Amino acid sequence: MTRHFAALAAAVAAALGLQACVTAGAYFGATTPPTDKTLIVANQSEPRSLDPHKTAGVPEANVMLNLYDCLTTYDPQTAEPIPCIATSWEHNADASVWTFHLRPEATWTDGNPLTAEDFVYSWRRIIDPATASPYANLLYYVKNGEALNDGTAEDLATLGVRAVDAHTLEVTMERPTAFFVSMTPHYAFTAVPRQAIEAHGDRWLAPENHVSRGPFRLVKRTPYDRIVIEKWDGHWDAARVQLERVIFLPIEDQNTAVSLYKANEVHVLAGGGQSVPTAFVKALRPKLDFHVEPEYGVYYYSLNVNRPPLDNKLVRRALAMSIDKKAICEKFLGGGQVPAWNWIPPKTPNYPYPTPLQYNPEEARRLLAEAGYPGGQGFPKIEIFFNTLESHRQLAELIQNTWRRELNIPVELNNQEWQVYQRTRETRQFDIARDGWIADYLDPNTFLDLFQAVTLNNHPGWANAKYSKLLDRANSDPDPLRRLSLLAEAEAILLDEMPVIPLYYYASVKLRKPFVEGWGDNPLDQNPLKFVSINEAWTPEAGQAH
């Protein structure tokens, strides 16, 4: 209760006070660059862990990305994998065996050389059920990964990863995986320091015991206060690194983060997702340091294809075509979200997006009549399920009204507590269920894979033999462009069958001081800080001219 009151009070104060202050100037708040090469990042919440195998959160990822180099890292502009520890890589004809060539000069912060054996140790550790890693499932693409993690196989040495020599890592996949390299910048595939873990057990993460090998090293960690990392001069790429120090502050309250940003006590509001309260978005929009970019994630409704009347493709298409998604994004959400008609979010490099349906209520009514419900007559009552959250409710009400108005069909709403809701979705005890998917890697496969087979995350329960075959063919195709066109064919089937209605693509909404340079707005929201710098000579005049 007190919390709600505090939030409300803050929102009112913000709406009255802060918003009024937003008006003047091209930038929001003070813009004097710091002179100590120290970047201060508002990092949402206190990281649960800095062990890459024990966490799955965004605030953790923001820090770990700079402590542990992976085989590859994210291109700050596109999020595509670029060489990091691995200088080059290749795969066999059907992409079932990958070979990575590691940089021989890379070492750990304690001076030990980094070898292929370190990766073998780490990948065995993350897949070990005793580690209980929330991201172990990303390693299921590696041979025997799933069997080892669920306990049906026990010998960790059977995991498909092998050190050919000190600097050559060979990975055998469970099945052909042509997109594997796009997963390798993810911290699930990094290497953890065996020497420190064996010497200190779970205490290896204390700053005095910590061994890493990224461009930065951990120097201070005070829970609920700050994490400080500093440039590590022994890093193989140290010449590139411009920042001396980065401070991550765990600020859960977005209003506080925005106030600190305005006062220049914080230079960047880190992702993912929306880091600025919606109430500010409109006022901040004209500011040059306000950034909105679509993210590689989609908010959608799952339609239970095993229940009438949603088992009828015509009905599913009618429901999808009658929703004005542009109005939802612009008039209702207003936080920079992008209307979703395709299943795959925008900005996938080289992907030939298939043509989706368009908003057309007239055609929707015609399809509904063709399905046997002219003017909505005889259409059974359907329910939209969502987990308890005001924004989910408001959107569901809006869609309920749309379908009543445009199609004249009865729609009920049903909200459930999150844990109950998860069960409802998994057991498919719904007509329509709110859903969302945010990618872990930059490849259409992460979205299309949901419907490869009827698995837990395939909430609509939809399966299609031709679709599955196309995915299999694509993922064993060594030619990247041909592979993407096969995936696009699969997406076209999905859009035709419409077991899911994509509603909007998530947006990353951020404030970033104009003197912070080298920060790309890529769809995965991943920004290695070795590419980031502070321009001490920056002035508002220079910024305007720019």
Partner 1 sequence: MLSFIVKRLLQVIPLLLVIMTLTFFVMRLAPGNPFASERQLSAVIQQNLNRRFGLDRPIFYLSVQESWTQFDPDGNVEYVNRSIFRPFDPPETRSFALVRWNGFDNQYNSYFFGRYVADDTTKARNWEWGVIGGNFGPSTRFTDARNVTDIILAGLPLSLNLESSPTSSRFASGFRSA
The residues of the shown chain that bind partner 1, judged by CB under 8 A, are 46, 48-51, 54-56, 129-134, 136-137, 146, 149-150, 202-206, 223-224, 417-420, 422-423, 436, 456-457
Q: Which is nearer to partner 1, 24 or 224 (CB)?
A: 224
CB 420, min distance to partner 1, A: 6
Structural contact between residues 30 and 514, judged by C-beta atoms closer than 8 angstroms: no
- Hey, which residues does 172 pair with through a beta bridge? 97
CB 451, min distance to partner 1, A: 16
Q: Which is nearer to partner 1, 131 or 468 (CB)?
A: 131
One-letter identity of residue 221: R
DSSP calls for 366-393: HHHHHTT-GGGTTPPPEEEEEES-HHHH
Q: Which is nearer to partner 1, 50 or 470 (CB)?
A: 50
Q: Which is nearer to partner 1, 57 or 334 (CB)?
A: 57
CB 56, min distance to partner 1, A: 6
Q: Which is nearer to partner 1, 19 or 131 (CB)?
A: 131
Could you give the CA distance from residue 336 to residue 507 in angstroms, rounded to a whole number? 6
DSSP calls for 473-494: HHHT-S-HHHHHHHHHHHHHHH
- 415 SS3 class: strand
Could you give the CA distance from residue 374 to residue 372 in angstroms, rounded to a whole number? 6
Q: Which is nearer to partner 1, 46 or 293 (CB)?
A: 46
One-letter identity of residue 245: R
CB 330, min distance to partner 1, A: 25
Closest CA to 535 of 129, 135, 136, 37: 37
Q: Which residues contact 422 (CB under 8 A, 6 or more apart)?
A: none
Q: Which is nearer to partner 1, 131 or 535 (CB)?
A: 131
CB 159, min distance to partner 1, A: 15
Closest CA to 467 of 499, 428, 515: 499
Structural contact between residues 55 and 49, judged by C-beta atoms closer than 8 angstroms: yes
**Angle 361-370/313-321 helices, nearest 10 degrees?**
160
Could you give the CA distance from residue 160 to residue 72 in angstroms, rounded to a whole number? 19
Q: Which is nearer to partner 1, 56 or 97 (CB)?
A: 56
CB 118, min distance to partner 1, A: 19
Closest CA to 10 of 225, 248, 257: 257
Helix (H) or strand (E) holding 301: strand 290-303
Q: Which is nearer to partner 1, 139 or 241 (CB)?
A: 139
CB 150, min distance to partner 1, A: 4
CB 135, min distance to partner 1, A: 8
- Which residue is listed with tokens 């710098």? 533
CB 419, min distance to partner 1, A: 3
